[in-house]
Amino acid sequence: MNESHTGMLLILLVVLIVLSAFFSSSETSMMSLNRYRLKHLSREGNRAARRASRLLERPDRLLGTILVGNNIVNILAASIATVVAVDIWGEAGIAIATMILTVVVLIFGEITPKTLAALRPELIAFPASVILSALQRLLYPVVWVCSAISNLLLRLLGVNPNDKDGDQLTTEELRTVVREAGLGITRSRQNMLLGILDLEKMTVNDIMIPRNEAVGIDLDTDMTAINHQLRSCHYTRLPVYQGDINNVTGIVHMRSIARLLSRGELTKEALVGACKEPYFIPESTPLHTQLFNFQKQKRRIAIVVDEYGDVIGLVTLEDILEEIVGDFTTEMLSLSQDIHPQADGTYVIDGSASIRDINRHLHWKLPADGPKTLNGVITEQLETIPETAVCLTTGGYRMEILQTKDNMVKSAKVWERARDQATLHGAAADQKVDEDN
């Protein structure tokens, strides 16, 4: 064989290796495309994204086109390499061509292009989609036959080739996507998105203001006390009840009585007349449902009742919004009155403090799937109401009861067990230093 013919074959071999790299990188890049970003770009009018989306609608045909082309190229390259090697080295050239071509194809036709495609899928896939679309039409008969046989084998294995459930995200998967979001979504926005997703896991009972902490107007109180309460009240809406909060008369808006209050002309009859009909909701209502109910009913405050119809607390629209956007200033001030940091790194916490508020304020992970208050957690753990100061451990936290009153824990000192371990390690290190000295 003359040198010019050998040179032509070597040039053709290089071209085939480049084509092999193209098919390999195309396969990896098309399969590595972010489907949700691809849909977004398609809606924005990106033609390359639309073309890639159309190809990915039938992955069997796309892969068939790529693999048919890749196999033709690789087989032809192997044949040409063998002819050239035999011409140069004789029969030994078959083994030499196999080894050399394997290394060359592996490095230049597989590993390098596929790695690049995995790292920069859009850079490869969008331009490649033009060629792949044309090849899919050109090789349609062959691709159709191969895809039909492949789909038949998949159905025999119990797999539906047209099943696209994998493109849908569950709620937990969506949480992971939000947590792993990169640039463009700040931490505060991530927390808001996660807060919206968490609404469906929580009920009104998880965030309501307990009955014993609810602020309202008792009509059995004299008007002097009621006037003083209204003038010093920090809330916009208050429940009005007769003697007991179970006997709710209505909800009064401060704006409705502001003029009478400023003139000193407010009476109990006027107060009752300004009340709006109370809005009762069951304690088991999911938060995302209650949010829509507030919107539908044009309400901002609701009275929470248990299965027996007894009032157990209040919930407001602001309470639900706080689960999405975080605490408002007034809530943080209220929370600071329940949690008192100590110089030794512990916290003295009121027994009525909400577990969710403690976890949010201190970034702790106290168990919140049971009792809603610190007093509830302690009494559930001890299975009794302690009469004297005792210590206990729950969920990786140590608690020391400081005060009990009226059959409940009024205050307790709480700290993380990790603090005890750090203290012990520090003491051991100090003792070792003293021994060395």
> Could you tell me which residue, 33 or 325, shows the higher pLDDT?
33
CB 151 within 8 A of CB 161: yes
Same domain, 9 and 151: yes
Against a cut of 0.75, is the pTM above it? no
Same domain, 79 and 152: yes
> Could you tell me which residue, 430 or 291, shows the higher pLDDT?
291
Same domain, 184 and 212: no
> Is residue 373 domain-resident?
yes
> Is residue 136 domain-resident?
yes
Q: What is the mean pLDDT of residues 310-326?
A: 89
pLDDT digits (tens, 9 = 90+) for 241-276: 998 899 999 999 998 888 888 888 888 999 999 999
What is the distance between the alpha carbons of residues 389 and 397, in angstroms, rounded to a whole number?
A: 17
pLDDT score for 428: 47
Containing 252, the helix (H) or strand (E) segment is strand 244-253
Residue 43 confidence (pLDDT) above 80: yes
Residue 423 confidence (pLDDT) above 70: no
Closest CA to 176 of 192, 194, 159, 188: 194
pLDDT score for 3: 66
> Is residue 326 domain-resident?
no
Same domain, 276 and 387: no
> Is residue 163 domain-resident?
no
Domain region containing 412: 335-422
Over the chain, what is the mean pLDDT? 84
Same domain, 92 and 73: yes
pLDDT score for 95: 87
Closest CA to 349 of 333, 368, 331, 336: 336
Residue 407 confidence (pLDDT) above 70: yes
pLDDT score for 334: 47
Q: CATH no. for residue 390?
A: 3.30.465.10
pLDDT digits (tens, 9 = 90+) for 56-73: 888 888 888 999 899 999
> Is residue 433 domain-resident?
no
Number of domains in the chain: 4
Per-residue confidence at 179, pLDDT binned at 50, 70, 90? confident
Q: What is the mean pLDDT of residues 197-210?
A: 86
Containing 137, the helix (H) or strand (E) segment is helix 121-138
CB 367 within 8 A of CB 373: no
Same domain, 231 and 108: no
pLDDT digits (tens, 9 = 90+) for 69-107: 999 999 998 889 888 888 888 788 788 888 988 899 899
Same domain, 309 and 257: yes
What is the distance between the alpha carbons of residues 10 and 24, in angstroms, rounded to a whole number?
A: 21
Same domain, 143 and 47: yes
pLDDT score for 2: 58
pLDDT score for 332: 43
